[in-house]
Structure 1
Amino acid sequence: MSTATRGEREGRAASTAPPGDAAPQDPSGALDVDKLFAARLHAARVRPYLATALFALHTVECRQVPTMAVDRHWRCYVSPAFVDRTPVEELAGVWVHEVSHLLRDHHGRGDRVARQRGLTGPGERLRMNIAADFEINDDVFGDGLLRPEGAALPEMLGLPAGQLMEDYLRLFRLGPRLHDLAWLDCGSGADGRERSWELGPDGAHGLSEQQRDAVRFRVAQGITGRPGSAPRGWRRWAEEAFHPPQPWRELLGAAVRSAASAPGAGEDYSYGRPARRSAALPGAVLPSLRRRPPRVSVIIDTSGSVSDSELGSALLEVAAISRAVGGRRDLVSVLSCDASARVVHPLCQGEGIPLMGGGGTDLRSGFARALRAQARPDVIVVLTDGQTPWPSAQPPCRTVVGLFPRPLSAGSYDEDDPEYVPQGPPAWARVVEIGG
């Protein structure tokens, strides 16, 4: 038991607090900043690529949070009782967990998915918090970082690892199996819903939007500069962080959403719910027209005229296309094509899709292969530089073309013939210029 006087305890707490972090105001049951910041230092040592983000957080003592929580302005609210009862090694894991919510923009993504899917109320935000935790916790611990007790993991519900928050939201609902997580509250930084105990946008020590972007960029640099030292989920995040959203990406997403929601797309007759007009025909059961989630087939031009950087952009567009149709990556397939179509890959993960090719270009084979699929697509998205023959007839589904820009000079279209100038995309396709 410590024999230090009240003044000595206050002075020691103040002297150990890093610049910008407040010392505890109430020494009776006060926040143990020595222990808290020792845990942060341990987290930075075992995850050096996250150090910039960890030390950008401003800590706020708060007895209303169950453990630790963050707001969207990069403040970290800490329960003194939680710090007292938790070992330093576990606290380090909580530090990394909370800063991961902010780096992965779970608050912004939570707001977007709430608007798109009509999710309202604290129950749905709790579900977002749990889904965001699943995204983080499946690969963030180990290698010197101890998993905190009670951490939410996708295996608790028999769900696969490696998914994104948006994917997990489609795979579970609140119920008895999640009763033990009803206390969970990682703050607005995890789901976008502001809490009464948060300091808000006008409170002290919040980071501006530009400062937050600078922190994310520094962390992404640290991850890409040490290949192999970060988990796959973090490497995927860093790759996307270097390619911030562009206006043309929004246009491409809007074009895909428009095609996917057009009359006829994703519609089929089903006997699962008979048509209401069956009542007028005794003894006859008529099917009703039901809407199902649209299927999207993405054809990527891998011919020699498409650069490696454009192929990298194409894979990022695949992720954007998945988000445009509500995050159902199981309904998106990817096909690489140069003069002939290659293997069709389901979009089960955000990485690992091989793009094979390098010869001439004839995307007609890609269209034919996509339309021969067992589950025919409702939308075909083609990512190409346009140097290809196009199908002579309009496919029986919507088509969106993402076009890599090329100079207008004829010489720029020199694949086999320097005089060759390709025909532009057909009138029945919606065209969006990528990078323009």
Structure 2
Amino acid sequence: MRTPLDLEKIAAARLLAVRARPYLATALFAMRLVESSRTPTMAVDRYWRCYISPVFVDRNPVEELASVLVHEVSHLLRDHHGRSDRFAALHNLTGPAERLRMNIAADAEINDDAFGDGLIQPEGAVLPATLNLSPGELMEDYLHQFRLGPRTAAMAWLDCGSGADGSDREWDLGPDGADGLSQQETDAVRFRVAQGIIGRPGNAPAGWRRWAEDAVHPPQPWRELLGAAVRSAVSAGGSGDDYTYGRTARRSTALPGIVLPSLRRTPPRICVIIDTSASVSDAELGSALLETAAITRAAGGRRDLVTVLSCDAAARIADPLCRAEGIPLMGGGGTDLCTGFTKALSTHPRPDVIVVLTDGQTPWPPTRPSCRTVVGLFARERRRTWNENSDYVPDRPPDWARVVRIG
């Protein structure tokens, strides 16, 4: 005889889950519940449907069902299906065994801090300790640390659905099925949950707080942004443009007896100013050298067109770039990049683009330079020294500079 799905019991379990984890309420109510006798317990797909076995609901108490609901919605919030697909593509992993391993690793990421404080631990829940691994790590970290074997033999039944490992199931309704959420809707749910966690961080475990920070402030691909900013500056109108009489202008035919010069585009010259003051760490100076090499590639590989200037409170000699590891970075005192701008603009020939790599703790020129400016800003929390004026606030990069945060 077919067991019907106990909707009242599931509703009670969801309310208990919301009471225990109020910051997940938006996600718990956004997840669509679908009756399915083909899943052993509960499983989710990437479209935020939760497939529920009526027999599983009938045999387990409300308290355990609430914990499983929180577990399943955590797979969706943390994008385990997308992360599993990317990991599989990157490491050339195929087959159901590897997808099972991803499901186990995803469960270990979730379960290390999912239970307690109103939620009981379900029987058979996979914990990092079950795999003899350290808690607090991500799915991708765990995947590098274990393989299927005797320790995981008892987990062969595990199936949290395609929403956990990215592999479609036969019971999935797919993108055209009923009650699925679109990508825009799932992004909105994640953002609302992340805002709730950040608004009341004391109620959420550390793992959820880290997730919320990444969801609200995703890391920027700063290397691509910096490269794009430099390429945009060197290719902009006016960069590298000059007049020449070696070829007359086309409009000379309209003015008999007058020779007009034509506009010629020459390779743009770039001056890189590296902040070498005491507030810049050795690691940041190393990053600045790497970015200088990348800037050279953005300029087409012409090292003769790139000049490097180290600057703290005084500008050093502008050195033509030979190789990144041979650049002398002198300094270690205070910071005043105004001297660096003055030195860069006084070199001959003058640069078409100035790139500044700094931590931002410096005065800036009061007026716009006569060339385009890109600022690579080392993104880090500023530490106040014991003898520093509490009212001191360093100047922000000016509006006329294109700013990209590094790191």
> Structure 1 residue 63: deviation in Å?
1.1
Q: Which residue of 2 aligns with 1:97?
A: 71
Q: Which residue of 2 aligns with 1:65?
A: 39
Residue 111 of structure 2: which of 137, 140, 145 is its match?
137
Correspondence 1:194 to 2:168:
yes
Q: Which residue of 1 aligns with 2:347?
A: none
Query: What SS does the corresponding residue of 2:51 show, helix, strand or coil?
Result: strand
In the TM superposition, 1:264-413 aligns within 5 A as 339=278, 360-361=279-280, 363=282, 367=286, 394-395=324-325
The answer (yes or no) to whether the contact 2:42–2:51 under 8 Å persists in 1 is yes
Correspondence 1:127 to 2:101:
yes
Cα 1:433–1:177, aligned 2, differ >3 Å: closer, same or farther? same
What one-letter code is carried by the residue in structure 2 that aligns with 1:157? Answer: L
Q: Which residue of 1 aligns with 2:196?
A: 222
Measure, in 1, the Cα distance between the counterparts of 2:150 and 2:73: 29
In the TM superposition, 1:199-218 aligns within 5 A as 199-218=173-192
Query: What SS does the corresponding residue of 1:200 show, helix, strand or coil?
Result: coil
Measure, in 1, the Cα distance between the counterparts of 2:175 and 2:41: 22
Residue 85 of structure 1: which of 59, 77, 82 is its match?
59
In the TM superposition, 1:146-225 aligns within 5 A as 146-225=120-199
The answer (yes or no) to whether the contact 1:104–1:237 under 8 Å persists in 2 is yes
Measure, in 2, the Cα distance between the counterparts of 1:178 and 1:120: 19
What one-letter code is carried by the residue in structure 1 that aligns with 2:97? Answer: G
Measure, in 1, the Cα distance between the counterparts of 2:112 and 2:25: 21
> Structure 1 residue 115: deviation in Å?
0.7
Measure, in 1, the Cα distance between the counterparts of 2:311 and 2:111: 44
Runs of 4+ in 1 over 6 A off after TM superposition: 249-253, 379-382, 389-393, 411-414, 420-425
> Structure 1 residue 212: deviation in Å?
0.4
Measure, in 2, the Cα distance between the counterparts of 1:33 and 1:423: 59
Q: Deviation string for 1:267-305 (max 9, x for gaps)? A: xxxxxxxxxxxxxxxxxxxxxxxxxxxxxxxxxxxx9x9
- In the alignment, structure 2 segments of 5+ residues that lack a partner are 228-273, 293-308, 327-336, 343-355, 377-402
Q: Which residue of 1 aligns with 2:89?
A: 115
The answer (yes or no) to whether the contact 1:362–1:388 under 8 Å persists in 2 is no
Q: Deviation string for 1:320-359 (max 9, x for gaps)? A: xxxxxxxxxxxxxxxxx972xxxxxxxxxxxxxxxxxxxx
Cα 1:419–1:246, aligned 2, differ >3 Å: closer, same or farther? closer
Q: Deviation string for 1:239-288 (max 9, x for gaps)? A: 000024656576789xxxxxxxxxxxxxxxxxxxxxxxxxxxxxxxxxxx
TM-score (norm. length: structure 1): 0.57
> Structure 1 residue 32: deviation in Å?
1.1
Q: Which residue of 1 aligns with 2:244?
A: none
Structural RMSD (CA) = 3.9
Measure, in 2, the Cα distance between the counterparts of 1:84 and 1:416: 67
Q: Which residue of 2 aligns with 1:41?
A: 15
Measure, in 2, the Cα distance between the counterparts of 1:40 and 1:167: 31
Cα 1:362–1:80, aligned 2, differ >3 Å: closer, same or farther? closer
Identical-residue share of aligned pairs (%) = 60
Measure, in 2, the Cα distance between the counterparts of 1:387 and 1:224: 40
What one-letter code is carried by the residue in structure 2 that aligns with 1:106? Answer: H
Deviates more, 1:235-244 or 1:27-36: 27-36
Measure, in 1, the Cα distance between the counterparts of 2:226 and 2:47: 30
Query: What SS does the corresponding residue of 1:90 show, helix, strand or coil?
Result: helix
Measure, in 2, the Cα distance between the counterparts of 1:55 and 1:171: 35
Measure, in 1, the Cα distance between the counterparts of 2:77 and 2:223: 21
Query: What SS does the corresponding residue of 1:59 show, helix, strand or coil?
Result: strand
The answer (yes or no) to whether the contact 1:61–1:78 under 8 Å persists in 2 is yes
What one-letter code is carried by the residue in structure 2 that aligns with 1:241? Answer: A
Cα 1:100–1:415, aligned 2, differ >3 Å: closer, same or farther? closer
Cα 1:32–1:416, aligned 2, differ >3 Å: closer, same or farther? closer
Query: What SS does the corresponding residue of 2:38 show, helix, strand or coil?
Result: coil
Query: What SS does the corresponding residue of 1:228 show, helix, strand or coil?
Result: helix
Query: What SS does the corresponding residue of 2:34 show, helix, strand or coil?
Result: strand
Cα 1:394–1:207, aligned 2, differ >3 Å: closer, same or farther? same
Cα 1:50–1:416, aligned 2, differ >3 Å: closer, same or farther? closer
Q: Which residue of 1 aligns with 2:27?
A: 53
Q: Which residue of 2 aligns with 1:288?
A: none
Measure, in 2, the Cα distance between the counterparts of 1:56 and 1:199: 17
TM-score (norm. length: structure 2): 0.60
Cα 1:387–1:193, aligned 2, differ >3 Å: closer, same or farther? farther
The answer (yes or no) to whether the contact 2:88–2:94 under 8 Å persists in 1 is yes
Q: Which residue of 1 aligns with 2:256?
A: none
Measure, in 2, the Cα distance between the counterparts of 1:201 and 1:192: 14
Cα 1:86–1:361, aligned 2, differ >3 Å: closer, same or farther? same
Query: What SS does the corresponding residue of 1:133 show, helix, strand or coil?
Result: helix
**How many residues end up aligned between the 2 structures?**
279
The answer (yes or no) to whether the contact 1:361–1:387 under 8 Å persists in 2 is no
Measure, in 1, the Cα distance between the counterparts of 2:224 and 2:5: 45
> Structure 1 residue 419: deviation in Å?
5.7
The answer (yes or no) to whether the contact 2:277–2:311 under 8 Å persists in 1 is no
The answer (yes or no) to whether the contact 2:375–2:404 under 8 Å persists in 1 is no
